[in-house]
Homo-oligomer: A and B are copies of this chain.
Amino acid sequence: MAPDGTSLDSKGERTRRRILDAAASEIARHGVAGSSLRAIAAAAGLKTGSVYFHFDSKEQLFAAVLEEGLQRTLDLLDAALSGQPGEVTAAGRLHAAIHAHAVAVSRLRAYTVVVLAPDPTGAEIAGASFRDLRRDYLDRWTGLVTDAQREGALSGAPDARLARDLLFGAVNAVGLAGRDPDEITSAVSALLGLPGCPPP
């Protein structure tokens, strides 16, 4: 018990986290449909039934996993952008965002798979707050792409959302395949011809 009476790391809280982590890695390995509560519980060092003390159902647990993963991804994006000097170019901000997303995919793997998928396997699983976070994240990205297009750093031909989804698809795929975020980021930037990257 912490001296201030509030134990942020209560036993229950720590168990809950262990379950979340186990669920995330299980999802990463076998997908949402292929993950069983039994395996998750075992990986968390619990018996199956005990999970129900911390989560009301499998769906709710998975929703929590997705939400948390998305939240952390958002945090990474925030950190990356706020770390930038104000007067940076739109291309620079897009570059930073791509890197942040690649890092998120690499770190959180399963947590993030769902971000882009238009109809994620677990769509019905995700709760309202997940959908809000997702919308938030997507909108931020749309803005970044639009800015880059206005700045002339990115082709204005495709509409911003399509460009954004292509970017997500590219980064997610190779990121989940285990590629290094730095490598991914520079490859994408080079292919897009983002200013500040060596032209072909």
Enumerate chain A interface residues (CB-CB to B < 8 A): 30-34, 116-119, 121, 149, 152-158, 162-163, 165-174, 176-179, 183-184, 186-188, 190-193, 197-200
Q: Chain B contacts of A186 at CB under 8 A?
A: 157-158
Contact A163 B192 (CB under 8 A): no
List 15 contacting pairs A-B, 8 Å CB cutoff, sorted by A.
Answer: A30-B121, A31-B31, A31-B121, A33-B34, A118-B176, A154-B191, A155-B191, A155-B197, A156-B200, A157-B190, A158-B187, A162-B187, A163-B187, A165-B173, A173-B173
Cα of A154 to Cα of B198 in the assembled complex, Å: 12
Q: Which of B33, B156, B177 interacts with A118 by CB under 8 Å?
A: B177
Q: Chain B contacts of A200 at CB under 8 A?
A: 149, 152-157
Q: Chain B contacts of A119 at CB under 8 A?
A: 177
